Chains A and B, each alone.
Chain A
Amino acid sequence: MKVKRDLQFDAIVIGGGIAGLQSALDLGDQGYKVAVVDKDATIGGKMIRLSKVFPTLDCASCITTPKMSSAAHHENITLFTYCTLGALDREKPDQVVAQLRQEPRYVDPEKCIGCRKCEYGCPVYVEDDEQGGFNMRKAIYIPFSNAIPQLPVLDVENCSLCGKCAKVCPTDAIRYDMEPEDFTITAKTAVLATGFELSPMEQKPQYGLAKLQNVVSSMQMERLLAPHGPYNRVLRPSDGKEPDSIAYVQCAGSRDESLGIPYCSRVCCMYAIKQAMLLSGALPLADITIYYMDIRAFGKGYEQFYQNAKAMGIEFVKAKVAKITQGDNQTARLRYEDQEGNGGVMEREHDLVILSLGMVPQWDPAGICSVNCGQDGFIQSILPKIAPTVTNIDGVYTAGVAAGPKDIVDTITEAGAAAMEAANYIKGLT
């Protein structure tokens, strides 16, 4: 393994999602040299994978792509994608040291021009997680069309080493023998913006353990709704039928002690309403139902958004769904107690069911960084009321969902606050 280099920056941002990018841009604009580290092959985080955002229904990509591009072209920001963080801690008052590993893409980034000829030439298809697992990519691929950087990754586990990608590459950028490279970044301050993942589909036996046809996660539904989604329209994944009846099951991964996730994930009500509104636009004749415990519409304009959804004809049923089973004709059958109608146990079948899963931390710092986490696993602030981005490590801050579930508006606000704290810390060193 090649030992790379020791790099010096003013600040290191862990995570290239919307929180990390906002922090990096705010620091970079103040003249600080910033390193952004992401484990993925592209920056953009969860937000770039969304269809639209609530409550404005703006295109998520249209907001995120310019920020990604600004960061990529910023003279003070350097992106380190497809990198694993091995260790991060403060060693001196002016030194946070991060041990990193550049995972091999098997493509020379200096030579690659992002033409995708390798991808089109590759003969092996692999299930594409970026598209919810609903269609396939190639064994060498650029994650999605507006990925930054526009560099492919060779999935070695699925590569037949046939040599076609190297043969068609016009710049000889394919490197089948590329190895990981370790390197170190030393900075004065750090921002941890490691984001979230959805609670697993497989965790609740009552909801079919991810084995039921046409029961999908909310992130999969984002892909079905996205213009560049797997089908370019909303179809039932089991057979391509245009669904007539669609249901959302709220609190499918939050507010549930049995799952070890007792907290509210804060965004599920609004993203379900957003998706329901988009669905009613895409499929005007479809019946859309949201099964909910309470609707939590706390943000600016959120209550109006909820009222608009009701006015559009989206049905809200107050019920905690007890069980989901396979129904007839590839439908999913929901069993619930009717709390507001005539009462009693009810059963209804839907063509497509979306589980509104909750947010859990993407990153576990155990053994990597001594930052404190709460019982919920999210990074803990030591001053949650007056400075929520401040952690237990001097000059190390947190932003976005890394610190707890929150929406995009709050994430961006918090990212700006983390950048301000980090800038103040650097100034205090001189």
Chain B
Amino acid sequence: MSEEKKSTAPTVDMKKLRQERNESITGAREKMKVQNKVIKALKEALSKEAKTIPELADIMGMQTDAVLMYVSTLKRYGIIGEGPKDGDYFKYELTE
């Protein structure tokens, strides 16, 4: 039977903190929404076969530099891996 983790951290008034940091929290949430959409689209695009950055950009309707930014980030966190080379470009694939 799993036991729920008991927090030893001091109690924080999260409601008050959320009010104080409302602007940055709203900005971060909006950013997160956009990011989640892009990551979902990226995973879908790579679900069947490995693709290069220009190929992904074509499918996703995004600029190539923005796609590369996401691909390299997900590679950093182990979600995407580098595949074989295709001409001047590398292909990328899902690791999960």
In the complex, are the beta carbons of A231 and B28 less than 8 A apart? no
Chain B interface SS verdict (over half)? helix
How would residues 223 to 237 of chain A score, 1 for a CB under 8 Å from any chain B CB and 0 otherwise?
000000011110101
In the complex, are the beta carbons of A176 and B12 less than 8 A apart? yes
In the complex, are the beta carbons of B76 and A135 less than 8 A apart? yes
Chain A interface SS verdict (over half)? loop
| B59 contacts the other chain (CB 8 A) | no
Cβ 8 A contact of B24, one of A157, A235, A242: A157
Interchain Cβ contacts within 8 Å, total number = 102
Q: List, in ascending order, chain B residues with CB within 8 A of A213's CB.
A: 65
| A340 contacts the other chain (CB 8 A) | no
| B42 contacts the other chain (CB 8 A) | no
In the complex, are the beta carbons of A124 and B89 less than 8 A apart? no
Given known A161-B18, A172-B8, A239-B68, contact A244–B88 (CB-CB < 8 A): yes
Cβ 8 A contact of B21, one of A161, A239, A241: A161
In the complex, are the beta carbons of A239 and B65 less than 8 A apart? yes
Total number of A residues with any Cβ neighbor in B under 8 Å: 36
A123 to B73, CA, bound (A): 13
Total number of B residues with any Cβ neighbor in A under 8 Å: 39
Q: List, in ascending order, chain A residues with CB within 8 A of B9's CB.
A: 166, 172-175
Q: List, in ascending order, chain A residues with CB within 8 A of B68's CB.
A: 134, 231, 235, 237-240
| B37 contacts the other chain (CB 8 A) | no
Q: List, in ascending order, chain B residues with CB within 8 A of A159's CB.
A: 21, 24-25, 28
Cβ 8 A contact of A158, one of B13, B31, B64, B70: B31
How would residues 123 to 167 of chain A score, 1 for a CB under 8 Å from any chain B CB and 0 otherwise?
111010000001110010000000000000000111111010010
Among all A-B residue pairs, the 4 with the closest Cβ atoms: A240-B53, A239-B64, A160-B28, A172-B9
Binding site for B on A (CB under 8 A): 120, 123-125, 127, 134-136, 139, 156-161, 163, 166, 172-177, 213, 230-233, 235, 237-242, 244
